[in-house]
Amino acid sequence: MLAGPKLQSLNELLQGASRDELIWISGYVAALTAAQPQAKKEAAVKEFVQDASFTMPVCTVVYGTETGNSKKIATDFSNKLKKQGVQVKLKSLDQYKANDLAKESCMIVVMSTQGDGDPPAGAKKFYDQIHQNEFALNHLKYGVLALGDSAYPLFCKAGEDVDIRLHQLGARRITNLKKCDTDFDGDASAWIDEFIAAALKPEAAPTMNGAVKVKAPAKPGKKIYDGTIATIINLNDRGSSKETYHIEIATEEPITYEPGDSIGIVAKNNKTAVNKIFELLELKGDEELYYKEQPYRSFELFINKLNIQFLPERIVQQYAKLVKKDIPSVKMDLADLLRIYPADQKLNPQQLVNILDPITPRLYSVSSSPSAHGENEVHVTVSRSMFDVGGQTRYGLCSDFLSCLEEGTSLQFYVNKNSSFRLPDSSSDMIMIGPGTGIAPFRAFLYERDAQGHQGRNWLFFGEQHFVSDFLYQTDLVSLLDTKVLTKLNVAFSRDQKEKVYVQHKMLQQAEELFHWIESGAHIYLCGCKDPMSYDVEKTLTNIISTHKNVSEESALEYLQLMEEEGRYHKDVY
């Protein structure tokens, strides 16, 4: 269990200890173990199961989601509960008022974690309200299912926080918090079975920890694919201020994915950036350092594992503690931190490594279709993120890493499912709004519909800066128009004229027909930049519905929300 520096420190401590000290240490460790969360969790479950008077006639299922996974799971849970005769209310946390907790008797929270351990944007208000206010929730029984990605340092933190806070407010757990990784289906389904068993059959014989045992399916683990870069092309032409790469990744084994999914990639750090840090730390590159109890050569560790770019404030503050300096709470690159706030005495590199986070994955929407391109390749559309820091051009970590890859290079990835961004049935019409890299999943959708012979009509709105240099996938789209797979294409090139023209302006020009498509049952898909694009497009959609249906803006918004609830309005924005 213990390896590396931890084992070394323990041995050093024990070697010099007297018999009495050893007895004291063993008692101290035993007391610490008894106070660990597992013990608390068992008590929490017993506490509920002993309450045999509880029945579950109603249950509210709420979800906090960014990319739709929690919504999909919460919907599945609701359906399962309904089949058990439970009356279910399903709500997104962005529409849930924390004051309504007083009226609930039973609640399930499904919630993902975003950013650096944060709740999804739509769930932030609820999260803040329950943390900043006091509620008496002794009447409430609940369970939390947390979604996350174990590659992030604060794995499932938002769900974990909600679980702890509800318990602090007096609510009682029906089942323990479950933290799910990106392969969440099996865990989520076992958890809801456990919840239902515990909630509906309290008289059943309690097992060791008080819960009714439901056998969890064998856990396959996150599937990592070994790929090779087969093609990498810059889709922007000379004169463009952007670089957007079409990247085809080939694999030996078939990839299990669907259009609408994204892939997760962990980048490597840039050699120049690592060398800068090594100069400041006076490291040569071959020193042995431990990270998460594994030994590495220092250069390999800094290139492949450690996040050295734009460190979160909490890491900057841990560094401040390490070097005993006052450092403002800002995000900063490690090289800048070491240069601007150097340690007074030579910094122990192992101590520095101990506080650093791993490099986290970035997601990229898949732009290929398994039916059209085969199961042994996946395509992505990557915009190289460029920004200015103190007059110098800097690059985003992963998009820069991917943009610089050469054909033939190996690359690992995993599939991140997005079950709520899927093609409709074959006869339904689709309206797709995808400026910039938002085009990616729509390329996948169009090729998939073509290969599957879907009959539904397809209308695409695409936008970029300039027609000549930035018309991403122009050849593909024109040929899809020629073959009538693409029924309509409207493009907006924002900087080709004096006034800026965006996709929402093109939508307004087509408002009457667009509304007709919507009223006739078309699905709406929106993908790409969240702020401001997705907000502007949504405002325009509301405006079009309000005008052509002759209803208020509020009613139009409700109409759109209903479409979302019915699975006819899908968003994948970032």
Ligand X SMILES: Cc1cc2nc3c(=O)[nH]c(=O)nc-3n(C[C@H](O)[C@H](O)[C@H](O)COP(=O)(O)OP(=O)(O)OC[C@H]3O[C@@H](n4cnc5c(N)ncnc54)[C@H](O)[C@@H]3O)c2cc1C
**Which residues are near ligand X by CB under 6 A?**
67, 262, 309-310, 333, 362-365, 381-383, 385, 387, 389, 394, 396-400, 437, 440, 572, 574
Contact of residue 155 among ligand X, ligand FMN, none (CB under 5-8 Å per partner type) = ligand FMN
Contact of 184 with 154, CB cutoff 8 Å: no
| Residue 285 binds ligand FMN (CB under 6 A) | no
Q: Which of 44, 60, 117, 248 binds ligand FMN (CB under 6 A)?
A: 117
Angle between helix 535-549 and helix 553-565 axes, rounded to 10 deg? 110
Question: What is the DSSP code string of 324-357?
Answer: T----S--B-HHHHHHHS--SS---HHHHHHHPP
Neighbours of 504 (CB within 10 A): 23
Q: How far is the CB of 121 from ligand X (least distance, A)?
A: 12
Decide which of ligand X, ligand FMN, none touches 123; Cβ closer than 5 to 8 Å per partner kind: none
397 part of the interface to ligand FMN, by CB under 6 A: no
Interior/surface letters 172-208, b for 16+ CB within 10 angstroms, e for the rest: bbbbbbbbbbbbbbebbbbbbbbbbbbbbebeeebee
Q: Which residues pair with 61 in a beta bridge?
A: 90, 108
Residue carrying structure tokens 């918004």: 557
Q: Residue 212 and residue 24: Cα distance in Å, rounded?
A: 38
How far apart are alpha carbons 572 and 367 in whole angstroms?
A: 13
Shortest distance in whole angstroms from residue 412 CB to ligand FMN: 17
397 binds, among ligand X, ligand FMN, none (CB under 5 to 8 A by kind): ligand X
Give residue number: closest CB to ligand X. 396
Options 45, 48, 62, 69; binder of ligand FMN; rule CB under 6 A: 69
Does position 120 interact with ligand FMN (CB under 6 A)? The reply is: yes
Least CB distance to ligand X at residue 331 (A)? 7
Helix (H) or strand (E) holding 179: strand 178-180
Side chain identity at residue 64, one-letter code: G
Neighbour-count burial of 558, counting CB atoms closer than 10 A to its CB (0-12 exposed, 13-18 middle, 19+ buried): middle
For residue 143, state whether it binds ligand FMN (rule: CB under 6 A): no
- Which region among 148-156, 278-286, 348-356, 443-451 touches ligand FMN (by CB under 6 A)? 148-156
310 binds ligand FMN (CB under 6 A): no
Backbone region of residue 550 per phi and psi (left: phi > 0; alpha: psi in -120 to 50; beta: other values): left
- Selection from 222, 225, 223, 200 nearest residue 211 by Cα: 200
Out of ligand X, ligand FMN, none, what residue 54 binds, judged by CB under 5 to 8 A for its kind, is none
| Inter-residue contact 492 to 523 (CB < 8 Å) | no
Cβ neighbours of residue 496 under 8 Å, at least 6 residues apart?
A: 466, 467
115 binds ligand FMN (CB under 6 A): yes
Residue 242 beta carbon to ligand X: minimum distance, rounded to whole angstroms = 10
Least distance to ligand FMN from the beta carbon of 255, Å? 18
Per-state percent for the chain, helix, strand, coil, to nearest 5 = 40, 20, 35
Q: How many residues bind ligand FMN (CB under 6 A)?
A: 24
Q: Interface with ligand FMN by CB under 6 A: which range of 106-114, 161-169, 431-439, 518-526? A: 106-114
Q: From the list ligand FMN, ligand X, none, which binds 440 (C-beta under 5 to 8 Å, kind-based)?
A: ligand X
Q: Which does 333 bind (CB under 5 to 8 A by kind): ligand X, ligand FMN, none?
A: ligand X
Task: Count other Cβ atoms within 10 Å, centred on residue 453.
Answer: 9
What sign has the CA pseudo-torsion 124, 127, 132, 133? positive
Q: How would you label 282-321 residue by residue, b for 16+ Cβ within 10 Å and e otherwise?
A: ebeeeeebbbeeeebebbebbbbbbbbbbbbeebbeebbe
Indicate which of ligand X, ligand FMN, none lies near residue 369 (CB less than 5 to 8 Å, by partner kind). Answer: none
Options 92, 114, 309, 399; binder of ligand FMN; rule CB under 6 A:
114
Q: HSE of 80 in the Cβ direction (CA atoms, 13 Å)?
A: 19
Which of 114/176 has CB closer to ligand X? 114
**Residue that the structure tokens 């070394």 belong to:** 8
Of 81 and 156, nearer to ligand FMN (C-beta) is 156
65 is a contact residue toward ligand FMN (CB under 6 A):
yes
Nearer to ligand X, 56 or 247 (CB): 247
How far apart are CB 405 and ligand X at their closest, in Å?
13
Out of ligand X, ligand FMN, none, which partner does residue 113 contact, by CB within 5 to 8 A per kind?
Answer: ligand FMN
Q: Minimal distance in Å, beta carbon 318 to ligand FMN?
A: 17
Whether 495 contacts 469, CB under 8 Å: no
Shortest distance, position 150 Cβ to ligand FMN, whole Å: 7
Q: Give residue 158's identity as a one-letter amino acid code.
A: A
Q: Which stretch binds ligand FMN (CB under 6 A): 5-13, 113-121, 250-258, 453-461?
A: 113-121
Please say which residue, 112 or 262, places its beta carbon nearer to ligand X.
262
Least spacing, CB of residue 405 vs ligand FMN, in Å: 21
From ligand X, ligand FMN, none, interface partner of 341 (C-beta below 5 to 8 A by class): none
Binding partner at 148 among ligand FMN, ligand X, none, C-beta below 5 to 8 Å by kind: ligand FMN
**Which helix (H) or strand (E) segment is 278 a member of?**
helix 271-281
Close Cβ partners of 366 (under 8 Å, ≥ 6 residues apart): 257, 259, 260, 261, 262, 263, 378, 379, 380, 440, 441, 444
Give the shortest CB-108-to-ligand FMN separation in angstroms. Answer: 14
C-alpha span between 34 and 278 (Å, rounded): 43
Out of ligand FMN, ligand X, none, what residue 364 binds, judged by CB under 5 to 8 A for its kind, is ligand X
**Closer to ligand X by Cβ: residue 196 or 444:** 444
- List contacts with ligand FMN (CB under 6 A): 65-70, 112-117, 120, 147-149, 152, 154-157, 182, 363, 416
